[in-house]
Structure 1
């Protein structure tokens, strides 16, 4: 399995027979693997997760299915792409061809995706995170944490081959909350931090602040856009 970091929360996952593209926003996309079925996932409508240019991919490859959160307005889907587009609501399960897709409810907009393909389990959190903000009240932040823990509960003890998890420097000292809880809850083989606003040094900060963590070797050190990883 080959994973390419594009930008922000965008990743391309290439497997033997299929490729999966998550939350393309900006960044250069490698040439789509010939002869493989493509699946394009969009977790929600925010501009840093959804770029309508994804529908132009059909000009390069016609065997693509778009899997979008249902918070995205239907009018944003081109007429010629609608037959190849599936809208999913939170806490839904669907099978498409040979892959199985589960959605989790987000603490922000849209959904998170849990995808089973070719014997691998891939988790993309979208904006499902413990969004603790200093400017919010203690009650608001407490409710946020409770919702986050509730919505992510389906991942408890789940073996996950590759997980894409927010690590957002805007949260200042609270940036670790979502990542740390996820690592305690699930059983990921590798974790790819995302949503770090072109500040990959936040990954090194997490590693420096967790010198004794049993999960250090699971965290992938992303340093630049377009970086590829074999797993």
Structure 2
């Protein structure tokens, strides 16, 4: 299993028999697209920093299938599945469950190839500064985030992709910290920070000692160093 950070909340996961691509809205290096293997695009919602219709323009390079949140207008007639929150589907050797978001769209939980993968999309503890966003209710935002995680409480978490958004100021770490405390995933990979890669180290410093691995990466389109299964 190899994990590549594309940009923002975009990630590409290479498994032995397929490639999974999450929330990609930027160019994917062709070197990451393996000929002869299926590629599955997961899109959590239609915001421009998670989705672009350009993902439908590369069909000649590989075998694509698209799993899109149902808030996205249908933009392709080829192997496209739309799905809403709290649904289940089996596809390509994957057991896919969807959950809600505290913004738009859905989050994904995928069991495949003996792995358990969670991608939060925009499911986040949106603890904005009320001076910046006076219409935000911080107490309700906390309740909404924790209530959504409660719906997943019996699911084992191995790899989790969770927002660590620097725009939230001093609250940037809250979603990731609570996720770790709740699920104790083997690996938590921060996302939703554009190119502010320094936020990863700040997050690690804030969290302190934990058995959960928080890998660091410092650029786009880079393979994340495998520290969870050395030698694999």
The 5-angstrom pairing of residues 179-190 of structure 1 reads 179-190=176-187
Match of 2:210 among 182, 201, 214: 214
Which residue of 2 is the match for residue 165 of structure 1?
162
Alpha-carbon distance between aligned partners in 1 of 2:23 and 2:111, rounded to the nearest angstrom? 17
Q: What runs of 5+ residues in structure 2 fail to find an aligned partner?
A: none
Q: TM-score, normalised by structure 1?
A: 0.91
Alpha-carbon distance between aligned partners in 1 of 2:163 and 2:87, rounded to the nearest angstrom? 22
The 5-angstrom pairing of residues 74-113 of structure 1 reads 74=74, 77-78=75-76, 82-113=77-108
Of residues 1-10 and 93-102 in structure 1, the stretch that sits farther from structure 2 once superposed is 93-102
Say which structure is richer in strand.
Answer: 1
Q: What runs of 5+ residues in structure 1 fail to find an aligned partner?
A: none
Distance 1:87 1:183, change over 3 A: same
Shift of 1:35: 2.3
Q: How many residues align?
A: 223
Shift of 1:157: 5.3
Which residue of 1 is the match for residue 6 of structure 2?
6
Shift of 1:32: 1.0
Which residue of 2 is the match for residue 17 of structure 1?
17
Give the root-mean-square deviation of aligned CA atoms: 1.7
Say which structure is richer in helix.
Answer: 1
Q: TM-score, normalised by structure 2?
A: 0.90
Which residue of 2 is the match for residue 73 of structure 1?
73
SS where residue 109 of structure 1 aligns? coil
SS where residue 5 of structure 1 aligns? strand
Contact 1:157 1:187 in 2 (8 A): no
